[in-house]
Amino acid sequence: MLWAQKRAGRVHRVIRAVAGATAAALLALGAGAARAQEEEKVLNVYNWSDYIAEDTIRNFEKETGIRVRYDNFDNNEILHAKLVAGRTGYDIVVPGSHWAKMQIEAGLLRKLDKSQIPNLKNLDPAVQAQLARMDPGNDHLVNWMWGFTAVGINVEKVRAALGGPLPDNAWDLVFKPEYISKLKGCGVSFLDSATEVVPAALHYLGKPSFSKEPSDYTQVAALLKSVRPYVTLFSASGYINDMASGSICLALGWSGDMNIARQRAIDGKTGQKIEVLMPRSGGLLFFDTMAIPADAPHPGNAHKWINYILRPEVHASLTNKVFYANPNKASRPFVKPEVASNPTVFISDADMARMVAPNSLNNDLRRLMTRTYTSFKTGL
Ligand code: SPD
């Protein structure tokens, strides 16, 4: 009996010791994890220009105490070059989905910790399915907003300069010398980016807009050469104000930007009537995505930002300000009726069926597009 009691006592002491050591180890582990999560209260964001509401950053900072440093870029080429060079210092970047595919494959973007983004539940499965073509499993990317590349006009100036009806296919305005030659006098802008202009020209020629066939690029070069004398500006952001003020009348640009120009013309009472045209053969869709660089210094804060943007009211406020559609189904009740009913923001099923979806891009294709575009731009 005594022996049995002594043994039981020893066993209890051993159990207590082991339990104590385990608890201490767990505490140490927990403290380590907590330290790892204690990030400096800073978030560095790199996003397209004219792509956010006035209060988006202010409200996030107020609520979280995290200070946001916000920089802008104007095309995917600039962002990609920075990511490839590494050590950008950015925690959130916003590449187009087809560029992000390359970046994921190169290990430049971090896998999301979905447990930190409960608002992912608000996303439209149709948009998620689009993104999954570039990011299987939706593991790295969350759509910021989406839109399309098309043609915008100053209605009265273009009608006056053409002296006749608009063409059936809006792409003719920028790619047919017969039309664009008449518009040079009131100012014509093309996007300042090879991977925007060349796919649009391929599409106009009836080719796949990310064709891998080198001879297609010879045809694009000839097409672009034929309209080069009439292009007066290359711009991927300044063209918004130029349209609003009336100093250009035609732009190959992005849907939301041209709607911003329309709104600025109204707000600034410039008297210019801007319209986004939906080309008969469709525009070129794009999906800009929030992603975290692999070497981001504040990945925890980046997850908080993504979750914040995915709140219905926040996502709606972006759309209300910059006229791009968002992927957030729960945000619809917060989108202003005049924005929700604009057919160039949330496009109809019929228009959607004609749109060209972005396709994957690789370095060879990029180089080919850049060469084609550079000789167009420089006129050589
Ligand atoms: N002013 C914001 C424009 C955003 C445009 N993103 C376009 C990506 C096209 N591939």
Tokens coding 303:
């997850």
Residue 353 lies in a domain: no
Any atom of ligand 1 within 6 Å of the Cβ of 48: yes
Any atom of ligand 1 within 6 Å of the Cβ of 50: yes
Q: In terms of pTM, does the model score above 0.85? A: yes
The residue whose C-alpha atom lies closest to atom 5 belonging to ligand 1 is: 254
Same-domain status, 169 and 264: yes
Residue 34 lies in a domain: no
DSSP string computed for 169-227: STHHHHH-HHHHHHHGGG-EEE-S-HHHHHHHHHHHTTS-TT---HHHHHHHHHHHHHH
Alpha-carbon distance of 79 to 99, in angstroms, equals 10
Residue 257 lies in a domain: yes
> Would you call 346 helix, strand, or coil by DSSP?
coil
Tell me the sheet residues that pair with 145: 288
Question: How many residues are listed for the chain in this entry?
Answer: 380
Tokens coding 340:
């929700």
Same-domain status, 247 and 163: yes
Alpha-carbon distance of 110 to 259, in angstroms, equals 33
Q: Which percentage of the chain shows pLDDT scores above 90?
A: 89
Residue 13 lies in a domain: no
Residue 138 lies in a domain: yes
Any atom of ligand 1 within 6 Å of the Cβ of 247: no
pLDDT, tens digit, 9 for 90 and up, residues 296-332? 999 999 999 999 999 999 999 999 999 999 999 999 9
The residue whose C-alpha atom lies closest to atom 3 belonging to ligand 1 is: 48
- Number of domains making up the chain: 2
The stretch 257-263 carries a mean pLDDT of: 98
Alpha-carbon distance of 196 to 51, in angstroms, equals 18
Residues 6+ apart with CB under 8 A from 16: none
pLDDT band at 361 (very low <50, low <70, confident <90, very high): confident
pLDDT, tens digit, 9 for 90 and up, residues 4-54? 444 444 444 444 444 444 444 443 334 334 444 589 999 999 999 999 999
Neighbouring CB atoms inside 10 A of 133's CB total 15
Same-domain status, 280 and 231: yes
Instruction: Give me the domain span that covers residue 75.
Output: 42-145+287-346
Any atom of ligand 1 within 6 Å of the Cβ of 288: yes
Same-domain status, 116 and 224: no
pLDDT band at 165 (very low <50, low <70, confident <90, very high): very high
Residues 6+ apart with CB under 8 A from 373: 193, 194, 197, 198, 224
Same-domain status, 268 and 169: yes
Same-domain status, 265 and 173: yes
Residue 374 lies in a domain: yes
Same-domain status, 297 and 337: yes
Residue 6 lies in a domain: no
For residue 152, CA distances in Å to 1, 203, 242, 258 come to 96, 17, 12, 6
Same-domain status, 204 and 88: no
CA atoms within 13 A on the CB side of 112: 24
Alpha-carbon distance of 291 to 350, in angstroms, equals 31
Same-domain status, 153 and 269: yes
Same-domain status, 364 and 234: yes
The residue whose C-alpha atom lies closest to atom 9 belonging to ligand 1 is: 286
- Can you tell me which residue has the tokens 């040079």? 184
Greatest CA separation for the chain: 113
Average pLDDT, the chain: 92
Tokens coding 109:
């973007």
Q: Which percentage of the chain shows pLDDT scores above 70?
A: 90
Tokens coding 206:
């009836």
What is the CA(269)–ligand 1 centre distance, in A? 26
Task: Provide the CATH number for the domain around residue 61.
Answer: 3.40.190.10
Same-domain status, 208 and 306: no
For residue 143, CA distances in Å to 17, 96, 268, 288 come to 52, 9, 31, 6
Tokens coding 289:
């995505």
pLDDT at 34: 44
Best mutation site among 51, 143, 195, 373 for ligand 1 pocket (most ligand atoms within 8 Å of CB): 51
For residue 51, CA distances in Å to 62, 256, 275 come to 20, 9, 19
Same-domain status, 135 and 175: no
Question: Is the separation of the CB atoms in 264 and 241 below 8 Å?
Answer: yes
Residue 35 lies in a domain: no
